[in-house]
Structure 1
């Protein structure tokens, strides 16, 4: 005989199953809703970041155009010389914008040693080699390492496979644990020195403030913006750097007593009369600059977008053009 539950108990059992099913559906719907809200939140944040990035890049582009305009204006005022008072890190300007700030500064790039002067395409490679060696010595680089640094850099830049006495060519770099080829062309950025034989992180950190990489192997040194160490790397000016900088820039606290060299003849006469250097060759020295770094930094919210722009300004007509642009790091 088959037994069956009373109708009332069957109805309660069915209602219990329906309730469990309803709770399960509600739970799944809640989980789905939370997941959708979470994805929507991240989508909104992602969109905000993209918009801020685009906005920051536009601000940096505007800062570049403004900086290039200032360079043209400076030359159009018949100003035939450039000084640290005009183009140094102290002259950084801050501009408030909606949601943040834009910082911008123009830095002179011919008061430093252009590493591409060690290219065999330069007009005075022997003189440039000697100048770089003197700069390394002025910066306290180990004398036993100086020849390696000079020769390795010459080999890195030249197009032949002839190794300098302390240098390195393709056969050296291809034998490394992580092999690579030599560039055999001018450097694009000083950061490339990390790949060159002898240039350890310690060496690069020491020389970095005094070097640059310009797209010309025959750039001159602006005596109005060069540091004491850089000045003393010039043939005939050993131990004269600090005095020249003091006479040129005056007191560090004020720009009112600056006495820049307006013409190259002014500097030549100063060297011979004040420094008593009778035999002095001013080849490779100038009182103006043609290469500048326009650095902008846009801060929007938590974002921080940096742009580095190497700009060339023609000394003859003041026209400017962008040479290269990098973001994030120089």
Structure 2
């Protein structure tokens, strides 16, 4: 074999080796691509299946909640005492094992939170030509919200000033009312929100979700997070605040109608302890020893404005979460009870 022939065979062998390597690389790339797509397809299928399973479990939790609320309404009807308290069976959290993990569900009285849409009502001017006192410029609900804001710790050992609380309340009022008239010095209408970057269109209607508070003039992320478990946007601005189920922070909003400051921690603790298993009606709450001591005004408690307060509720939150596979899925459901009939109004993964 000549030198030329050997060189030619070496070139052919080199080309064949390169082609073989290219084929191997191509096959490997195709295998990796197919394997990735197969894994993705399997994962998607599993997620869809787990999603269907989670929805089924959470729907089951809703049905349990509906049953408990209907049962409670029937028992109240038999007893003749229409009140809702934290000692009733619906208020007990439930947890169940499932084939895929577990399911937790709890019912919360939505009227145990402050209804932000209650701020939409305007204060009535006093009869005659009398100049209204500072407290008369606000409705009972607005005074409670001003007091609530002052209970929020915005920084360690730092609480909101009353004037700032009043300004923020005015801004919320302007967001939910129907007119374009600026309320007080802290209010804000379309002129303010239209100049923001990016600009916003003011709602001028009741809130659908308390998430809208994030846009309100004067609201901060820290304050919003602190308010989140205490407020709600209910579709009924007339829904009362249940004194039997409201948390400690809202008990501090119980004070003389002439005061825009919250009651002290000790006074609120006194009311909280006397509440015990709950009051049968709002008159029993109004004339209780603890409220009389905190608010004053004698046995009739003329200093306590009970407008917007109640002991029975129509709106409830079902908070559910379930572990399916390696993921945890959550859902919040707003329930409405009229008599002994319970209907589902909305479902969300966010906030009401």
**Helix, strand or coil: the match of 1:167?**
coil
Task: Indicate the larger mover: 295-304 or 139-148.
Answer: 139-148
Matches within 5 A, 1:87-98: 91-98=92-99
Q: Give the paired residue count.
A: 315
| Aligned-residue offset at 1:24 | 3.5
The answer (yes or no) to whether the contact 1:272–1:278 under 8 Å persists in 2 is no
The answer (yes or no) to whether the contact 1:122–1:217 under 8 Å persists in 2 is no
Measured at CA, do residues 121 and 297 of structure 1 come closer, stay the same or move farther in structure 2, by a change above 3 Å? farther
Task: Indicate the larger mover: 39-48 or 267-276.
Answer: 267-276
Distance, in Å, in 1 between the alignment partners of 2:86 and 2:27 is 67
Measured at CA, do residues 123 and 101 of structure 1 come closer, stay the same or move farther in structure 2, by a change above 3 Å? farther
In the other structure, the counterpart of 1:203 is: 223
1:246 matches 2:270? no
In the other structure, the counterpart of 2:326 is: 302
Measured at CA, do residues 329 and 225 of structure 1 come closer, stay the same or move farther in structure 2, by a change above 3 Å? closer
Structure 1 residue aligned with 2:181, among 162, 166, 172?
Answer: 162
In the other structure, the counterpart of 1:292 is: 316
Provide the alpha-carbon RMSD of the alignment.
3.0
Matches within 5 A, 1:28-107: 28-78=26-76, 80-86=82-88, 91-107=92-108
The answer (yes or no) to whether the contact 1:137–1:143 under 8 Å persists in 2 is yes
Measured at CA, do residues 230 and 68 of structure 1 come closer, stay the same or move farther in structure 2, by a change above 3 Å? same
The answer (yes or no) to whether the contact 1:87–1:108 under 8 Å persists in 2 is no
**Helix, strand or coil: the match of 1:226?**
coil
In the other structure, the counterpart of 1:254 is: none
**Helix, strand or coil: the match of 1:78?**
helix
Matches within 5 A, 1:225-236: 225-236=245-256
**Helix, strand or coil: the match of 1:289?**
coil
The answer (yes or no) to whether the contact 1:141–1:203 under 8 Å persists in 2 is no
TM-score by length of 1: 0.84
In the other structure, the counterpart of 2:130 is: none
Structure 2 residue aligned with 1:261, among 262, 279, 290?
Answer: 279
Matches within 5 A, 1:115-130: 115-120=116-121, 126-130=139-143
In the other structure, the counterpart of 1:112 is: 113
The answer (yes or no) to whether the contact 2:102–2:322 under 8 Å persists in 1 is yes
| Aligned-residue offset at 1:328 | 5.2
Distance, in Å, in 2 between the alignment partners of 1:151 and 1:74 is 38
Per-residue CA deviation, residues 86-143 of structure 1 (Å, 9 max, x unaligned), is 3898x33221112221111101111221110111379996222222222223443222
| Aligned-residue offset at 1:184 | 0.9
Measured at CA, do residues 11 and 42 of structure 1 come closer, stay the same or move farther in structure 2, by a change above 3 Å? same
> What stretches of structure 2 of length at least 5 have no aligned partner?
126-137, 153-158, 258-262
TM-score by length of 2: 0.79
